[in-house]
Amino acid sequence: MGFGLPACIGACFASGERTICLIGDGGLQHNIQELELLKRYNLPVKLFVLNNNAYASIRVTQNRHFKGNLVACDPSCGLTLPDTLKIANAYGLKTFKLNNQDGIESKIREILSCDGPVV
């Protein structure tokens, strides 16, 4: 968790090409400050953040090995995460929100065709 965005930034610098990153909302929290690099260098990174209610991998592990005794992994045990779009906007990044699959293909095409970074 947390490696997706820094790895994507490195791949983008190395290739000089548009780079796509799929990351969970909890994983993004580990290196969310790297959104500043996207803005500063105007990197053509398209960051798709999946809302999986915080730390999905930790939740799966706790369900599997600790009989569902959840601690600090999602809203059911008190964990809250900030609004990703508000943070991305605070960094001056272009944002989109996809709530469902209606027209998703055209929305993704639009996102991928944007210049610079998009969250």
Q: What is the CATH number of the domain that holds 31?
A: 3.40.50.970
Domain limits at 100? 4-53+83-113
Residues ≥6 apart with Cβ < 8 Å to 118: 45, 46, 47, 93, 94, 95, 96, 111
| Residue 99 included in any domain | yes
pLDDT digits (tens, 9 = 90+) for 76-116: 787 788 899 999 999 999 999 999 999 999 999 999 999 99
Could you tell me if residue 13 is inside a domain? yes
Is 60 within a domain? no
The number of domains in the chain is 1
Looking at the domain assignment, is residue 108 inside a domain?
yes
The whole-model pTM stands at: 0.87
Residue 22 has pLDDT above 70, yes or no: yes
